[in-house]
Structure 1
Amino acid sequence: MSDAITEFRSATESGDMDALARVLAPDAELISPLSGRLVFRGRDDLRVLLSAAYGSLTGLRWTEEIGDGARRVLLAEAGIGPFRLTEALVLRLDDQGRIRTLQPHLRPWLTLTYLAVRLALGLSKHPGLMRRAAKAT
């Protein structure tokens, strides 16, 4: 089996959302770093969310991977609009080696606010996704 983390890194850097979806567990979930309350679940909803998030970034580069086994941390740098963004992404793998949970930690605050506005605009086209995420809490 190929390494889901390596594939995730490559897919997000290149914008290949089909490849990204393939490394996610069917029941994968992401707790929103913007609200702390919205929980996005399932490969299809995460594909929409992550397409909007990573599609907003320019020059995404994963700079470091920490850990081994079922829990990893990836560090990244990217741009969004006129701002720079850093991310620490905690990933947990399932028994088949697919990504089961994603816990993004983003900074700085001003960049995160700008990203939130961009995501709100992109996700407004998918109201069902937002309702499902709000119910999951």
Structure 2
Amino acid sequence: MSDAIARFRAATEAGDIDALMETIAPDAELTSPLSGRLVFRGKADLRVLLAAAYGSATDLRWTEQIGDGARQVLLATATIGPLRLTEALVIGLDDHGRIRTLNPHLRPWLTLSYLAVRLAPGLFRHPGVLRRAARAA
């Protein structure tokens, strides 16, 4: 298991955004599972997004890790409000072993919709983050 991925798992389960951000490469990017078109880039924008996303989840547990190279998949379960969520997160590592790409796949649809509603206020407080993500698409 990659050290960055092990630290990412521990940080997200603990809700520790500072520790989570230490695992992320400076030029990292995340493609939104909500729109499929928004691409969040850079540590500052990812901090806003990941703090809102993982701050909305409770009982997050990474249940499985698949792969051992530069591209790996993590499987998780979590609770968003009253609803259960499952996640398959495809992670790409850079040459230094830091997390360079994050491609989350979330289900079910109802929980994903509820998550979108929960994320909106936090993201709308940072309109530049959304503008940059939309421009990158």
TM-score in same-fold range (> 0.5): yes
Moved over 3 A (4+): none
Q: Take 2:104 and 2:58, find their aligned partners in 1: how far apart are those partners?
A: 17
Secondary structure of 1:33's partner?
A: coil
Q: Secondary structure at the match of 2:26?
A: strand
- In the aligned structure 2, how far is the partner of 1:57 from the partner of 1:23? 19
Counterpart of 1:67 in structure 2 is 67
The answer for the alignment partner of 2:133 in structure 1 is 133
CA displacement at 1:69 relative to structure 2:
1.1
Code of the aligned partner of 2:13: E
Tell me what 1:52 maps to: 52
Deviation per residue, 1:39-83 (Å, 9 max, x gap): 000011101100000000010000000000101000000001110
Q: Distance in 2 between matches of 1:92 and 1:104?
A: 12
Aligned Cα RMSD in Å?
Answer: 0.8
Matches within 5 A, 1:1-137: 3-137=3-137
1:122 CA displacement: 1.4
1:13-47 CA distances to partner (integer Å, 9 max, x unpaired)? Answer: 00111111111000000010000110000011101
Cα distance in structure 2, aligned partners of 1:121 and 1:59: 22
Describe the superposition over 1:60-108 as per-residue Cα deviations: whole angstroms up to 9, x where unpaired: 0000000001010000000011100000000000000000000000000
**In 2, distance between residues paired with 1:44 and 1:125?**
14
Distance 2:23 2:47 in 1: 11
**Counterpart amino acid of residue 14 in structure 2:** S
How many residue pairs match? The answer is 136
Among the aligned pairs, what percent are the same residue? Answer: 76
Query: Match for 1:102: what amino acid?
Result: L
Give 5+ residue unaligned stretches, structure 2.
none
TM-score, with structure 1 as normaliser: 0.97
Give, as a single letter, the amino acid of the residue that structure 1 aligns with 2:104. Answer: P
Q: Report how far residue 121 of structure 1 moved.
A: 1.5
Cα displacement string for residues 108-128 of structure 1 (whole angstroms, at most 9, x for unaligned residues): 000000001111121111111
Unmatched 5+ residue regions in structure 1? none
